[in-house]
Each structure stands twice: as structure tokens, then as C-alpha cells.
Structure 1
């Protein structure tokens, strides 16, 4: 599993969540929501400190990561986060 975050998406998260260059943002599995990989679950985000990251990347000074406990959700997919200019927000995709 890999994580890819574009510079524009990282800038959006920095501005919207008021992140500094030493912060880390976790992608985690949450119950409910729509558009997820697994029925009944979706992807959430929170500012936190990595504990046992299974995948991570650093973009614009921010560490984006997924914990080992959420690895099951992605199965064989990787997480790609880009910026959607039309909607002016991040776009999550799995490949």
C-alpha cells in the first residue's frame, strides 16, 4: 500500500485544517459514510501523531499516513489524494 498526495491537495489540507509543517494527518477507517472501498465504511481524517504507520508520505511539510490497524480497509489498493479544481477540495481515489 502506498499513499500519494499532490502538492495542491496538501496545500488545501494545510489551509483548511490550519496545519503547520511539523503536523501529521491520519487517514483512518470510520463506520458509515459513502464512497468507501468496503461496504459500510468510509475514510476519515484527523490530525494525530503516527504510532505504527503502514504507509506515509511527506508533502508540503505535512506527514500523511495510514496506521497498520486500518491496513485491512485498503486490501490491495493504494490511496491517491489529488485536488479537484472544480469542487475546490481534495479528491480521494484508490488504485
Structure 2
């Protein structure tokens, strides 16, 4: 599994979440929401330090990561986070490996 966050998406997170110093942001699986990879679940975010990261990438001031215990959600897919320019918000793309 790979995790890619574009510079535009990372900048959006920095601005929206008022990130000014180095920090870590976890993508985690939550119950509910729409547009997720697995029915009935979606991705959430929270500031947290990695404990057992499955994947991580650093872009700008943020280390983005996914913990090993959320691996089931991705079912052999990689995650790419891009900025949707029309809606000015992050867009999650799931690519088969």
C-alpha cells in the first residue's frame, strides 16, 4: 500500500487546520460517512503521533499516515489525496495495487 498527498492538498490541510509547525495527521477509518472505499465507512482525520504506521509521507509541515490497524479498509488499494479545485477540498482516490 502507498500513501500519496499532493502539495496542493497538504497546503489545504495546513491552512484549514492552522498548522504552523511540524505535526502528524492520521487518516483513520470511521463508521458512517459517504464516498468511502468500504460501504458504511469513511476516512476521518486527527492530529496524532504514529504508533504503528502502515504507510506515511511527509509533505510540507505535515506527516500524513495510516496505522496498521486500518489496513483492512484499503483491501489492497493505495490512497492518493488530491485537492479538488472545483470544491476547494481534499479528494480521496483509491488505486488498486
TM-superposed deviation, 1:21? 3.7
Tell me the residue number matched to 2:63: 63
Q: 2:24 matched to which residue of 1?
A: 24
SS of 2:69's partner is helix
RMSD between superposed Cα atoms in Å: 0.8
Greater share of strand: 2
Distance 2:9 2:94 in 1: 15
Runs of 4+ in structure 1 deviating by more than 2 angstroms, as ranges, are: none
Q: Quick check: 2:34–2:42 contact (8 Å CA) kept in 1?
A: yes
For residues 26 and 42 of structure 1, the distance between their equivalents in structure 2, rounded to whole angstroms, comes to 13
Cα distance in 1, alignment partners of residues 83 and 66 from structure 2: 19
Instruction: Tell me how many residue pairs correspond in the alignment.
Output: 95
Note the 1:1-80 alignment, pairs <5 A.
1-80=1-80
**Do the aligned residues in 2 keep the contact of 1:20 with 1:62 (CA within 8 Å)?**
no
3-state secondary structure, aligned to 2:8:
helix
For normalisation by structure 2, the TM-score amounts to 0.94
Separation (CA, whole Å) in 2 of partners of 1:19 and 1:75 = 31
Where structure 2 has 5 or more consecutive residues not aligned to the other structure, the ranges are none
Deviation at 1:20, TM superposition (A): 3.0
Distance in structure 1 (CA, Å) of the matches to 2:41 and 2:29: 7
